[in-house]
Structure 1
């Protein structure tokens, strides 16, 4: 397989994985995943992201309790919280941090897939309740907003790839 096919295959095979086996995640893999996240494009190259890495089992369990849709953290072996730094935003267009952190998150998910791991993105922002719970739990500075939680582990069993191709969503030249 050539490089182009490898890249496209990785993108097209990315999936949300919520069941993990007992194998731990290597620190080197987490560093690779974070490097991929930091390689994302961002508005004016402000790079408003910061990442909280979770490996402690108690903290992973707490994430499952804090977020009603994050039960997979109970068997995840690691987690990443993507945060946005409001001091690193474009003046008068602060909301671009959302797009920037989304791009970093997608890179993280693609790196997880490329490493043969499984992961899933669970939303935090804009839910004020979830944002406040995580800000309080991690004692985050006022300018740091938790954007999402990403559970990571070695996939348990076969994972189904969803075909999301829908030609009806494509409009050539006009609506």
Structure 2
């Protein structure tokens, strides 16, 4: 699958089979995430791979939008480490680029995934930090719920020419 196909066909998948995601797949996803660009090459990301069933059930309670984590075989929490920031505030942009790479890699590997945000909701951030024992300087940005898809969503052409401006508004 080429990159443009992956971008055009990737969809947010929220239903998964019980099949375990291989360590090889997990490493592929994390390598793709860590290949993302970052401000000053600071690479402020941290990742917590969650495959413990009880912890996945607790993860599902972090937000009203992460319920599918309880029935998934895997989630990856993406966190920004503010202690390595060269350019304060860019951790969120950098980690978001890593997430997009991870989502595209999951799709290319035949996996399904959905990006579930935590930040900037302080209660969700604090609950997530507590759940995974993250230090105070590390900010939980999102949970990516992953697995082998148990749904088949069709690609959608989302191009909207009314959102494109040239040179000025």
CA–CA distance in 2 between the matches of 1:21 and 1:44?
40
So what's the TM-score if we normalise by structure 1?
Answer: 0.93
Equivalent residue number for residue 4 of structure 2: 8
CA–CA distance in 2 between the matches of 1:85 and 1:74?
26
Other structure's SS at 1:11 match: helix
Equivalent residue number for residue 162 of structure 2: 168
**Per-residue deviation, 1:134:** 0.9
Runs of 4+ in 1 over 3 A off after TM superposition: none
CA–CA distance in 2 between the matches of 1:156 and 1:116?
11
Name structure 1 gaps, 5 residues minimum.
none
**Per-residue deviation, 1:173:** 2.4
Per-residue CA deviations over 1:106-152 (Å, capped at 9, x if unaligned) read 00000001001000000011100000001111111111110100000
Residue 104 of structure 1 pairs with residue 98 of structure 2? yes
Equivalent residue number for residue 121 of structure 1: 115
Equivalent residue number for residue 23 of structure 1: 19
So what's the TM-score if we normalise by structure 2?
Answer: 0.96
**Per-residue deviation, 1:66:** 2.1
Name structure 2 gaps, 5 residues minimum.
none
* Match runs of 1:68-147 below 5 Å: 68-90=64-86, 93-147=87-141
Per-residue CA deviations over 1:23-51 (Å, capped at 9, x if unaligned) read 11001000000000000000000000010
- Give the RMSD, CA atoms, in angstroms: 1.1
